[in-house]
Amino acid sequence: MNGTLGVMAPGIHTTVQDLGRVGYQALGVPSAGALDPVSLRLVNALVGNEPATAALEFLYQGPTLEVHAPSIRVAAAGSDIEILGEPPRRIPPWQSIRLTQGTRFRLLAPQRSACGYLAIQGGLALPSVLGSQSTYTRSRIGGFEGRALGAKDALPLVQPAAETRAEVRLSAPPDMAQPERIRVVLGPQDAYFTEAAIATFLADSFIVSKEADRMGLRLEGSVLTHARGYNIASDGIATGAIQVPGSGHPIIMLADHQTTGGYPKIATVISADLPAVGRLRPGDTIRFRAISTSEAEAARRVLEADIKRRSRNLVPAIEVGMLNETALYARNLVSGIVNATDWSSEDSP
């Protein structure tokens, strides 16, 4: 046994996710995988893992964990790590940290995203199911016993101890702000909608409803009118497909989506923008812009180049307590004071 990571409190829907299981949707097996694969790949780079190594994904509120191994190295995406003690310490996202036996820490709520990630150097010693460790809770496969984590779970580690080395951070963390418009390719059943519905879909704003989970996001707002009814012969569904049932309210299919469906799909979110959609929370606003397939392919190539560039550009981590000069210089010190050691600020580099 190489040690474990003990779960003191599970957070909200904390699961093990990698980049998903590919090639099994024809057999009725959803891909699952990270809602935000960009964050997953970058946080793995910080601890020296391969990009597709499984990590912990949590929604809205992270877990509290305890190290039951000589040492581990971790890094978080989208969330501060709070090391519990007297006094507690905060480690900003996009930075690696080595933690020793008995250290208890928690992942704070993501600031600009529905989801956050914790990568562990070496990964988790869990079985793969159809080539992936991703959890698909509806079928109870993958991850830790096919389910979200619970209190008193013990996650087995691949690596018995983290070597002593300098910690690193991303020199240029990704921008987690929501883009002004999410890019889509119309179809494959856009002919099932009136011209007015297509125009409304591309012109109006929609709100992410409370009916949002890893399977999909139901949107509220203008009703989209069908021209040829809302039932079609069931066909395959890609991640990012936007179904419109009889209610006229669109639903964006996410990582845990069903493999087939019988509602017409007005458009499909391009793969380069899926991570941004995966970060959306109930109440967030979303707007769409139609582009061509060739433009979508070009956007994915740009994203891939950006991920590789950020993964390579690692710099020494900021030690807790060091001055955050960016935050210091960005504030008006005449009218008030600033905590110059606060690395949780949005002004952090």
* 80 within 8 A of 349, measured Cβ to Cβ: no
**Distance of alpha carbon 281 from alpha carbon 24, whole angstroms:** 29
Task: Give the span between the Cα atoms of 36 and 40, in whole angstroms.
Answer: 7
pLDDT of 346 reads 40
* pLDDT, tens digit (0-9, with 9 covering 90-100), for 173-208: 999 899 999 999 999 999 999 999 999 999 999 999
Distances (CA, A) of 259 to 36, 244, 253, 254: 20, 16, 10, 11
Half-sphere exposure of 263 (CA within 13 A, CB side): 20
Average pLDDT on 34-58 reads: 98
In this model, does residue 255 exceed pLDDT 60?
yes
Instruction: Read off the pLDDT of each residue in 153-175 and give the average, rounded to a whole number.
Output: 95
- 16-29 in b/e burial notation, b at 16+ Cβ within 10 A? bbbbbbeebbeeeb
Instruction: Check pLDDT > 90 for residue 233.
Output: yes
- H helices of 218-342, where? 274-278, 293-312, 325-330
DSSP sequence for 41-74: HHHHHHHT--TT--EEEEESS--EEEEESSEEEE
Enter the pTM of the model.
Answer: 0.90
Q: Which helix (H) or strand (E) holds 37?
A: helix 37-47
Average pLDDT value for residue range 211-238:
95
Residue 349 pLDDT: 35
The structural domains of the chain, with segments of one domain joined by +, span 4-170, 182-302
pLDDT for 323 equals 47
Q: What is the pLDDT confidence band of residue 152, given thresholds at 50, 70 and 90?
A: very high
Q: Work out the average pLDDT over 198-221.
A: 97
Cα(40)–Cα(47) distance, integer angstroms: 11
Q: 181 Cβ partners below 8 Å, 6+ apart? A: 287, 288, 289
Give me the chain's average pLDDT, please: 92
Q: Is the pLDDT of residue 168 over 80?
A: yes
pLDDT tens-place string over residues 70-128? 999 999 999 999 999 889 999 999 999 999 999 999 999 998 899 999 999 999 999 99
pLDDT score, position 335: 54
Nearest to 119 by CA among 32, 192, 52, 20: 52
Q: pLDDT, tens digit, for every residue of 294-333?
A: 999 999 999 999 999 999 999 999 876 544 454 455 555 5
Q: What is the pLDDT of residue 344?
A: 44
Superfamily in which the 182-302 domain is placed by CATH: Cyclophilin-like (2.40.100.10)
